[in-house]
Every structure is written in structure tokens, then in C-alpha cells.
Structure 1
Amino acid sequence: MTSSRRLSTVILPIRRWHDGGRPLWVRAEELGFHAAYTYDHLAWRAFRDGPWFGAVPTLTAAAAATERLRLGTLVTSPNFRHPVTLAKDLITLDDVSDGRITLGIGAGGNGFDATTLRGSDEEAWTPRERADHFDEFVPLLDRLLREPSVTQEGRFYAANEARNIPGCVQRPRLPFAVAATGPRGLRLAAQYGQGWVTTGDPKLFESGSPEESVAAIRGQVARLGAACEGAGRDVSELDKILLTGFTPGSPLQSFDAFVDFAGTHFDLGFTEIVVHWPVPDSDFAQDDKVFERIATEALGQFS
């Protein structure tokens, strides 16, 4: 992954493919976005009682409908994924797309679909339990995507002669963009990531100020640097990806507001900023003309 400044989008999987879904991915490529991602959930937030389609089939269809656009999840988590079956899906996606897949991956959270695969009397994992699963999930997935056959038995996950031939188109495997802010997740990003993802500090979203958010994100970037130093790695090797929509303020309310926001975060070291494709009557509602102007003109302000 490179370190130039880029702009990408997230397309929520809420539209039937042949009734408004496909044109969004095609348009994302036409607008010049670096990548188009989708969320890997079974259900999500205010959209949980409406249409919501699977990430892997959606990305497979998007790969067939586009030619240059990078594609990926933002993010996949162990909440309902197993490394063995996920690896097979990812290798297939990477093949169909001819090497255009990035795996955004995180430890997951509570709520939405965190307990969908568990019994009615089972509680969601605690933060420590999520981190424990993630600690095992990422290294095993790394092996599965690199090696033709893997046998490994861990505390949470097992692979018994799991074969993944011919492997990824991208070598030695497709890139990981690891979503993390805590010490254990940052260590995984430093060791296994080609990119790092943050949404900022969630505690500041409703009551914090933009200035407080920038300070918090600056601290996250510094901690990533320390984790990379501990892993013997140059932090500049990692793409730094900011998923917008979860920080204080309204950076997408106008073109100028977004340019100011993007400039501030590019100055913090971010290489990629991700904006949500507009969804009417939702938290992601936005003027389509402003959105398209941001897509086509914003990066030109930094050249």
C-alpha cells in the first residue's frame, strides 16, 4: 500500500443489486475514489430492521462491475467470522477482482450482531474477550492467506489441513487494514497490518469538540508509532485510514468544511480519508452535489 493522499467511500449494503445497488459502485469508480468499502455485519444500527446484504457477495458483484476501484470491508470482525472460511472467501474475492481487495479488520463491538450466533442466555464478549479472540484470529488468518496448507489449534480457533491453493493474487497476501486504538490492537496493526484504521475517539462524538477530537487522534497516531517501533517497523510503511462520520462536527456539510477537515487530518499523517455514500433520511444524509464535488475536487486542494 502506498502513502499518497487518497479519498475513498463506504457504500452501505442496503440496496438490492438490481434496484439501485450496482450503479453506486460503478459511480464510485467513475468519480475517481481510490476504494469503495462496505460494512461486514449481519445487521447494523438504525438499518437493522431494513434491507442489509452480505459483504462478501456484494463485493464479489462489485468486483465484476468495476475495473480499477479497490474494494474491501471496513471492517470484518470475529463476531461472526471464522478464519478458515473467511480466508477461502477472501482468496476467491481477490481472484475475482484481480487483486483489488483490502481486508479491513477489527475486534468488533457489542450490540447489533455481536450475539447473533450465540444462545439466548449468552452475553456479548467483554472488551478483554474481544481482544483475546482478535489476538488469535489475525495471526491465523495471516497464515491461511500465505500458506497452501495450515494446521493449527488454538484456544478459540482451529484449522486442520486447511488448504488455500492457489493463494491470493496479491503476494504474499492481500493487505490488512487493522482497526485499533487499544494497545493490543495497535500491536497487531504494527505486526500484521499494511494499513491502520480509526474512527477517532467514540467518547467525543456526541459531547466533544473538533479540537478535542484532533488531539485524541493525534495521540492514537503517536501510539501507533510506538507500537511500530516496538515491532521493529517503520510507521511510515502503514497506510493510515480515517473513517469519517464518527467525530464531532459536520465536515461534510460543505466542500470548504471538508477540505479544512481533510487538511487537518492529512497533516496528522493520514493517507486515506473515507466518506460514507449519502443515504437519505439517515445519519449519512448529504447533498449529492456536495458529495460529488468532494469526490472529484477535494484532493486537488492539496496538490
Structure 2
Amino acid sequence: MNLHVVLWPIHDWPAMADTWRRAEELGFVGGWVYDHLAWRGHTPWDDAYASLAAAAAVTSRIRLGTLVTSPNFRTPVPTASAIRTIDRISGGRLTLGIGAGGSAHTSDGDVLDRDWTKRERANRFEEWVSHLDALLTGESVSAAGEYWSIRDVTVAPGLVQQRPPFWIAAGGPRGMRLAARLGQGWVVNPVTDDPAEEVRGQVARMEGICSDAGRDFSAMPRLLLTGFTGEPWLASAAAYDDLAGRYAELGITDVAIHWPRPGSEWDADTAVFEAIAAKVR
């Protein structure tokens, strides 16, 4: 099981730089940040892309990513430019987690003064990902869409990776089909009271969709975002082992845990946290 960590971009940079260095020392495969303007009332909440550019400059091995970027307040062209910049600064260590974004009043869902319907949000997401893919793989890209248009834009030259991998968060059939078509990885974020059963069903559906699309499901990384279901991932090293084993049996290949955050529901014993990281180093 590959182990990743979600970091909190809420502290002054010297402290955040130390945290990024420590995450790399602990051996995490990837370090991720949530892409928000503010989250659950917390501000300041530093920009995800600026934070990753800074993190790229103080690390050398750990992969960096957003968990997840969404179209809620980012448009394709400047997002593609930021992706290229971080890819270059990091020497090709960027992974782009992408999701459709939350609804109004959650996860910056209404900052553009529009509460999109579920269908509109799905339409925008598919168009956004398609435009981003085109910008990061082609030259002189033009596209006329329902939500965004692009005219003669060149971004891709200079990328270290041929195109930074897209790990697409999807729980429904339409998002899964998009992940099978344009994603290199898949992010699973269970929300029910029975997360293991929810993940079991999603894995089965995603495997079938990949088969229909001619994709090798076994070769696709499958990242489980933890910390929102009440499961005791950071209670002890033994608890982590038990949960990681269960989800590996369900087809999960990667797990993301949260850096301990005192005074929040993501608080944890630092010694336990580091012991878990040591087990997979």
C-alpha cells in the first residue's frame, strides 16, 4: 500500500517548509493540499498552487499534488500554466488530483455567484478536464465550449512530464467514465456510514467502466482519501495495518492520511503518525 499525506496550508511558510521537508524524510510517496480559498471557516488558507511551487523548491523526492483541483474558481488556461510551472520547478513530481467541486456554500462552490445544478456541475467538470488535457498535450490550442473558450493558447512546451498525471475523483458513473478516458489514477472519497462497502461497490463499477473503455484497471492507481468516515486510521499502527489490509483486499492501492492537526478532528499522536509512516518507508 502506497502511503500519502495531506498537509494543511495554514501556517507561516518557514513552518510549512519544515513540514514539507519532514514529510519527505518520513518517506511519504506523495504530499497533497486541498485546493480552496478557505475551508470549513479557516482563514488564512494559502493557495494550493503557490504552496506546491514553494514545496517543490524545498523537496527533491516526494510527489506533490492537489486533492483536488476543481472548476469552482479556476479556469483552464491559468491553471494549465500553473501546472506547467510546478512541473518544471519540481523536476516532474506533480500529480494533479481533480474533482468536480462542492455545491454552493461548501468548498468555495458559490464564489462565482452561481449555484450550479448537479448536471451543470458535471458538464462543466468534463469540459474543464478536457480543456486542461488539451492545453497540456497540444500546441496552439483553440476550443469553443459551453463554459470556457480558448483561442490559440500554447502551454505544453517545457513540461518535464509528458503530461502530469490526472488522478480524478469520481463516485458516479459519469465521473468514472471521465477518469477511465483521461485519468491516470482514481481518487475514492467514501461518505456513507459503511465506507468499506461503499468502496467495494465503487471499485466494482470502476473496474467494469475501465473494461468497457479498454483500460487496464489493474494498472490504475486507486487512492483512498481517509479522515472523514470515523475509521481510526491514526489511532495506532495496528489500527492502520488493519484498515490498510482491508482496503487493499477491496482493490485500493494508495491511502492518504492527514498530518496531525491539533484542536481539530484530524488531531493524532505524532509518535503514532510517524510510526505508521516508518512502516511503509
* Structure 2 residue 114 is matched with structure 1 residue 99: no
Note the C-alpha offset of 1:59: 0.3
Residue 36 of structure 1 corresponds to 31
The whole-number CA distance in structure 2 between the counterparts of 1:283 and 1:68 is 29
The whole-number CA distance in structure 1 between the counterparts of 2:131 and 2:120 is 17
Residue 7 of structure 1 corresponds to 3
Deviations 1:207-245 (A, max 9, x none): x2xxx3211101000111111112111111210000101
Residue 121 of structure 2 corresponds to 130
* Structure 2 residue 229 is matched with structure 1 residue 247: yes
Note the C-alpha offset of 1:248: 3.5
Residue 157 of structure 2 corresponds to 166
Note the C-alpha offset of 1:67: 0.5
Deviations 1:131-181 (A, max 9, x none): 11011111111110001220000111111001115242111x010000000
Q: 2:60 aligns with which of 46, 50, 67?
A: 67
* Structure 2 residue 210 is matched with structure 1 residue 228: yes
The whole-number CA distance in structure 1 between the counterparts of 2:112 and 2:237 is 42
The whole-number CA distance in structure 2 between the counterparts of 1:77 and 1:194 is 17
* Structure 2 residue 140 is matched with structure 1 residue 145: no
Residue 282 of structure 1 corresponds to 264
Amino-acid identity (%): 49
Q: Which amino acid aligns with 1:37?
A: W
Deviates more, 1:229-238 or 1:190-199: 229-238
Residue 179 of structure 2 corresponds to 189
TM-score (norm 2): 0.96
The whole-number CA distance in structure 2 between the counterparts of 1:42 and 1:142 is 24
Q: 1:259 aligns with which of 231, 241, 247?
A: 241
Q: Which amino acid aligns with 1:40?
A: D
Q: Which amino acid aligns with 2:140?
A: S
Note the C-alpha offset of 1:249: 2.5
Structure 1: state its 5+ residue gaps: none
Note the C-alpha offset of 1:30: 0.2
The whole-number CA distance in structure 2 between the counterparts of 1:169 and 1:112 is 31
The whole-number CA distance in structure 2 between the counterparts of 1:154 and 1:264 is 43
Structure 2: state its 5+ residue gaps: none
Contact 1:244 1:274 in 2 (8 A): yes
Aligned-CA RMSD value: 1.2
Contact 2:101 2:107 in 1 (8 A): no
Contact 2:176 2:206 in 1 (8 A): yes
Q: 1:215 to 1:165 in 2, by over 3 A?
A: closer
* Structure 2 residue 215 is matched with structure 1 residue 219: no
| Equivalent runs, 1:203-218 vs 2, <5 Å | 204=192, 208=193, 212-218=194-200
Note the C-alpha offset of 1:251: 2.2
* Structure 2 residue 165 is matched with structure 1 residue 175: yes
The whole-number CA distance in structure 2 between the counterparts of 1:215 and 1:11 is 27
Residue 79 of structure 1 corresponds to 72
Q: What secondary structure is seen at the aligned counterpart in 2 of 1:186?
A: helix
Aligned positions, number: 279
Q: What secondary structure is seen at the aligned counterpart in 1 of 2:136?
A: helix
